Structure 1
Amino acid sequence: MRLLSLLAGALLLLYPATPRAQTVWDMPTEYPENAMPGLGLTTFTKHVAELSGGKLQIKPSFDATAGIKSAGMLTAIADGRVQAGDAFAGSLESEDAIFALPSLPFLVTSTTDAKHLADIARPYLAAALQKKGLRLLYLTPWPPSGIWSKTPLKTASDLSGLSIRTYDKTSTEVFAGAGAKAASISFADTMPKLVDGSINAVLSSGDGGAGRKLWEFLPYFSEITYSLPLSVASVNQAVYDGLSGDLREAVDAASRQTERELWLALSTRLQENYQRMRQNGVTIDSSPAPAIAEALQSGAAAVQRAWCVKSGPACVPILDAFRASKP
């Protein structure tokens, strides 16, 4: 028996144990790795690896290299083309009106406001995802959206000279109402439009602008604080349910930790973006002509009312809770 034990031990040394089975999730975003959604994916990937002991691996991809943009992300996850993904919430309005809430114009004006609204909206966003067979992982906050343009914006009439990339149906309506030629274009498709000259302005944050180097075409940025929108990271519910209990706990903990770190990152992101923009020759107008904001805000109230109609009974409790949360 002793001889058999020694032989068995020798065989184990020659033929190591089979590696632990590993589950892999593909998780794309249409945004660059250095934009906030990209930071979310890399942060989530790191925490999942740590908390699962390497049993679950996230394979992030950026810049829509997986061929999936925000508007098609929920369908891609539900259909099993990928296990998880990140999408800009405003691009999902056709799936459910609740996704347009975070990018309603001039509703939030600070990071504090944005955090309050995100906390209030979370159960509604999660419920909308659940109807599609998806589970909310975490929310990614964006810095304030402003206007990138070829020339400075001095008066409200300058808006009529813009052929501007907007990021959802609501922002398209607001800018069109102010006289601009506006079109909702995915972030992944924005640069080709700038190159061919079909647009001459972009609604985005300094974060998105840095990710795409918008300054190569648009050297002016008007700080209008149009909104502080959100992106939504989700996973196929059946895929999540198929995990062992300890891996589900790891995913949940990684999601919470990722979102906490993203909000902390947002607190310094604006100044970091502005420093990088100025280093690349961008002129930042932090006090644009009041008439410009007024021209846009005149349409903001109308689209907020329209959103309330589309969102049905969710509107009043959400907006009441948000207003009550403001100091």
Structure 2
Amino acid sequence: MASEDVIGKTTGESAVSTIVNLAEEAKLAREGVKAPGPAFLSICKSLAAGGIAGGVSRTAVAPLERLKILLQVQNSHNIKYNGTIQGLKYIWRTEGFRGLFRGNGTNCARIVPNSAVKFFSYDEASRSILWLYRQQPGNEDAQMTPLLRLGAGATAGIIAMSATYPMDMVRGRLTVQTENTPHQYRGLFHGLKTVLMEEGPRALYRGWLPSVIGVIPYVGLNFSVYESLKEWLVKSRPFGLVDGSELGVTTKLACGAAAGTVGQTVAYPLDVIRRRMQMVGWKDAASIVTGDGRSKASVEYCGMVDAFKKTVRNEGFGALYKGLIPNSVKVVPSISIAFVTYEVVKDVLGVEMRISD
């Protein structure tokens, strides 16, 4: 955990320094002083905004994130975590306050670059897709539609997931391990090195296929629903939710909550399969998910389809939705905070283009 804290501290200091520098550049721009390299600066601002949004939103829901993963991978014949409230109480009683946030430092080390790449990729994919769409006859003045936003969001999700997947794989194992795990991963880099040496480079991408398939509807629907709902509210102005041409923070949070709920419900079974495939090959996984210290072999999966078949056959269809309740409780504030934080930080840094543009 010490190395994880060092990583978090270093990352935090770098982020603060970057924010201060970018804020100064934004101030100069507002005062009419032209800064060098405007294209590069805009990219840095967009990446910084996305990274901050991801770190803030994920830390806010870290206990629910850990409980969700524990529910997804625990043995069905030895239940330790039985629901959201009971599960959180059990973690608090057996591992203390730090147990609720176990793996969050590593999670932020993963989610900050993931979120930065995801939001930036969405911005760029949206512009590219709209440009290509306008090249078609009769579409010269076309605007973004829900379907185009879905495509841009799916593209952004695939790029971000693939770029940071090894960190996600190790983060899942760090989140699952407890104080009684025989051989501890001491942090992100130690985990990456250990998996690489003991299981080979392919192990770092175990579960990648269901992750990519799942991220297409999840991230795609998140962006599409969020942006389309915002656009509809601005145009129709129902219930007096719109002040002028801008939505309030509370309304944006509600839009993010709706987007997150739709996306995670559709993609959740693939997330369960991804987590289970990530545990394959880890010799200490059995003692973690059973909690009894026995050397009972964990289930082996030959691929995504085999993992689906064995999960449903051994535990029933409901196993594909293990941990859905804490994930639902988590995803509403998480997605909402991420979207709103991203837009607020971009305003502070003086980035002209927003995702809704």
**Would you call these one fold, judging by a TM-score over 0.5?**
no
Higher-helix-fraction structure: 2
Higher-strand-fraction structure: 1
Asked which structure has the greater CA Rg, the reply is: 1
